[in-house]
Chains A and B, each alone.
Chain A
Amino acid sequence: MTARDILAAAMLIALIVYVLLGGADFGGGVWDLLAAGPRRREQRVLIEKALGPIWEANHVWLILVAVLLFSAFPPAFAAVTTTLHVPLTLFLVGIVFRGSAFTFRSYDTRGDRVQQRWGLVFSLASIVSPLLLGMCAGALASGDLRWVGGVAGGGFVDPWLRPFPVAAGVYALTLCAFLSAVYLANEARDDALRDDFRKRAIASGALVGACALVAFALSFEGAPRIRAGLTDRPWTWPLHLATGVSALTALHALWRRRWRMARVAAAAQTTLILLGWTASQFPYLIVPDVTLAGAAGNPRTQRLLVVALGLGSLLLFPSLFLLYRIFKGEQVFAVVDATTQRPSALPVSREGEGDGEV
């Protein structure tokens, strides 16, 4: 295993963690927007508190992907940021809006109307972000994003507005909504509220499956190399099987109100989906012009990066573990909430309680 492979794996791991931690945050925006029924207000309050959108430091995982990309595979970074200039820029605008909305929501501002308007901004920004990232992923896989001689061959708009990338974007958004609903069902204390999110989780879980099928169907024309990667390689079938099993496990667990199992299964399903995508695209970073080997920077830098990663992990994982142990039973994602929380009538559940497990 070369330094190059380790760095590519590190980027993938960082991306997976970003989706697992940040995806639930983004997905919260969907449920905030679609809050309905007699407990609409409580739903919104739960989303705001439990998902800890304030933990903007989540973005550090994405920053890690970007840094590893430009340090270890610099031409690929140049290619991605040039060809996908528009969707990445829009994604950044969403991030900044989320930051603004978060700042407002952290303070007891004037009143409900102001809060509502910012809530809307926050929800919209939270929805647009995974949509755009999914479209970027779809475009990278499609084969329509051309990078020849340092020029964006397909133009700046067309390649990511085609059916396959759009479907990938919707798929990503639905997946985030699903993750979010499962987490929220875990966090809710009130039974009726839990059931609200259980219904939403089951519905979005089914939609995730539908999106996967649509994306696969569109890949025949829209991303033929992905289709081939998904079906023609020997290890893909066990991967599909595992993904399907975890999806069904998650839905089953939700049905049976086994909340923790649902959460684990949903996380596993998400991880396997991301693995499936990247594995079927391997070794291309951008199909068909940029490969890992072709874009690799000089080996000395790569080796030093691996050392830095190793040292960094030695430092980070114990401290993350310490953080989790200190706040076991509290909302891990809302660590800053304690200083910014308004007193609320709605209690939030602790880990291990009321999850229906025997």
Chain B
Amino acid sequence: MDNLAFARAQMGISLAFHMAFAAAGVALPLVLVVSDVLYAKTRDPDYLEISRRMAKGTAILFAVGAVSGTVLSFELGLLWPTFMGTYGEVVGLPFALEGFMFFTEAIFLGVYLYGRGKIAPRHHLFAGIAVAVSGMLSAFFVTLVNSWMNDPTGFRLVDGHVVDVDPIAAMFPRPFWHQTSHAILACYQATAFALAAIHAAVLLAHPTSALFKKALGITLAIATVTALIQPVVGHASAQAIAKHEPTKLAAAEGLYETMPRAPLALGGIYDETTGKLRGAIEIPGGLSFLSFNDVDAVVQGLDAVPPDERPPVNAVHWSFDLMVGSGSAMALLGVVAIVLAWRRRGVPTDRWFLKCVVAAGPLGLVALETGWFVTELGRQPWIVRGFMRTADAVTPFSHMTARFWLFAVVYVFLGVTVVFLLWRQLRAAPVAASPDAPPQSHGPHGAGASP
């Protein structure tokens, strides 16, 4: 692996890590607000307890997201100084706005976490809503930067110099609406499915816990709604990519030859030398139809661009299939959840269903990360599509190997630590908060003890 590969791997790890924690930071406040509103309406102490318990986890996840965000801001320069040096002024505005949103989120999170009981409930709820909204907006602004990288606009390149910069135009490139909505929904979806899995797992062990049944109600609702909207947004996104970023779509489908009646390909290994996709399940005309609503439409293949402008096909193709597969599974589960909830007139607690929810837990995160792989890897070899190659943006600092392994180890360690500690907190927590039911811990030795 050469320096460029290590730099890309480094950026990949930092972003993958940050996105998981940032997604939690965006979505958890929504769960908190929903729980608070339900408490205000029903005066059921269980909802208050749900909010209280999630607050600590939210604070931890938010702080880790902040740390990884700091690292990323610097790594933009440490790893890709030429990119930032040339295009910083074009794309800096959404970064600045994202920073302000993050700052607002942090302040109101402080008010929310510490102000319960100290300020009027209406103001406390307002703080929670402010956290949720500013979190969503900061995700919006930062995704705008990525959409610009995919479809650059708002400047001209003359003799290698950036001129006629229009920062507002650069903030709203063609893909912006579908890319941002897809990403924001993914944050809620990933978090909701992970939380629902946790709640379902506890319910499986303690079927009578009213507290966790209510918690599952909230998270399952968010998971279902997002799981059903996301494929629609995703489809719109794919159609836009077919028009404006055809090389990315070709890589996602492993399509070498530009052709009408292009097949939809599931799985398979792409051979770079022959352009053949081996072992894929093909649906004839499927790709043309999905992309342009016309089975006979011509879909551009990888042969439309020279070999040195083609993305790594297998990585993009498998990421895409994993994303769509996870998304479909989650959508299916969402439909099942709706049917069951309608029939049971409440939160479904059938054991087989709960087991499915537990199994679906990681799917949201898988879809989030693989989806991002598609958009990033699918843009290679460009860092700014059509204008700057990733290879030309990388830092001249040459000892990237040691750096990469150091950060990889530290990040893996930090990630494992956080998950482990949150897990332990969950195991030690009592199963009920209602005054009539005696609190029982589901840990083997009782509340608060370490396993």
Contacts and interface: CB of A to CB of B under 8 A. Distances in A.
Interface in A89-118: 89, 91-93, 95-100, 102-104, 106-110
B414 A96 contact: yes
A320 B73 CA distance: 23
B174 to A, nearest CB: 21
A110 B450 contact: yes
A92 B71 contact: yes
A71 B96 contact: yes
Contacts of B411: 96
Contacts of A309: 96
Nearest to B64: A99
Given A85-B395, A156-B397, A335 B92 contact: no
Interface in B49-96: 55-56, 59-60, 62-64, 66-71, 73-78, 81-82, 84-90, 92-93, 95-96
Contacts of B406: 93
Given A88-B74, A93-B410, A301-B93, A74 B88 contact: yes
A71 B93 contact: yes
Interface in A163-187: none
A218 interface: no
16 contacts: A57-B102, A57-B103, A60-B66, A67-B73, A70-B76, A74-B84, A77-B84, A78-B77, A80-B77, A82-B396, A89-B78, A92-B75, A95-B71, A96-B411, A110-B450, A300-B167
User: Which 9 A-B residue pairings sit nearest by Cβ, starting from the closest?
Assistant: A71-B92, A78-B85, A81-B77, A297-B89, A74-B88, A99-B67, A335-B110, A70-B88, A57-B106
Interface of A: 54, 56-57, 59-60, 62-64, 66-68, 70-72, 74-75, 77-82, 85-86, 88-89, 91-93, 95-100, 102-104, 106-110, 150-152, 156, 297-298, 300-302, 304-305, 308-309, 312, 315-316, 319-320, 322-323, 326-327, 330, 335-336, 338-340
Chain A interface mostly helix, strand, loop or mixed?
A: helix
B99 A60 contact: yes
Interface string B164-177: 01111000000000
Contacts of A319: 104, 107-108, 111
B122 interface: no
Interface of B: 55-56, 59-60, 62-64, 66-71, 73-78, 81-82, 84-90, 92-93, 95-97, 99-100, 102-104, 106-108, 110-111, 113-115, 118-119, 162, 165-168, 395-397, 403, 406-407, 410-411, 413-414, 417-418, 421, 424-425, 448, 450
A308 B100 contact: yes
A63 B418 contact: no
Contacts of A107: 421, 424-425
Given A305-B93, A326-B119, A339-B59, A63 B70 contact: yes
Given A110-B450, A339-B59, A340-B56, A96 B410 contact: yes
B63 A67 contact: no
Given A326-B111, A338-B114, A339-B113, A100 B92 contact: no
Contacts of A336: 59, 63, 110, 113-114
Contact of A70 (B92, B110, B395): B92
B107 A74 contact: no
B111 A300 contact: no
A308 B66 contact: no
B111 A323 contact: yes
Contact of B118 (A67, A77, A326): A326
A265 B310 CA distance: 61
Contact of B103 (A60, A70, A99): A60
B96 A308 contact: yes
Contacts of B90: 301
A83 to B, nearest CB: 10
A7 to B, nearest CB: 10
Nearest to B421: A107
A126 B87 CA distance: 33
B70 A103 contact: no
B364 to A, nearest CB: 23
Given A85-B395, A308-B97, A72 B414 contact: no
Nearest to A338: B114
Q: Point out which of A60, A108, A322, A327 has the most chain B C-beta atoms below 10 A from its C-beta.
A: A60
Contacts of B103: 57, 60, 64, 312, 316
Given A67-B92, A67-B95, A100-B414, 18 more contacts: A57-B102, A59-B69, A59-B70, A63-B73, A66-B73, A71-B95, A81-B395, A88-B78, A93-B410, A96-B67, A96-B68, A96-B414, A300-B167, A312-B96, A316-B107, A323-B110, A323-B111, A336-B110
B249 to A, nearest CB: 31
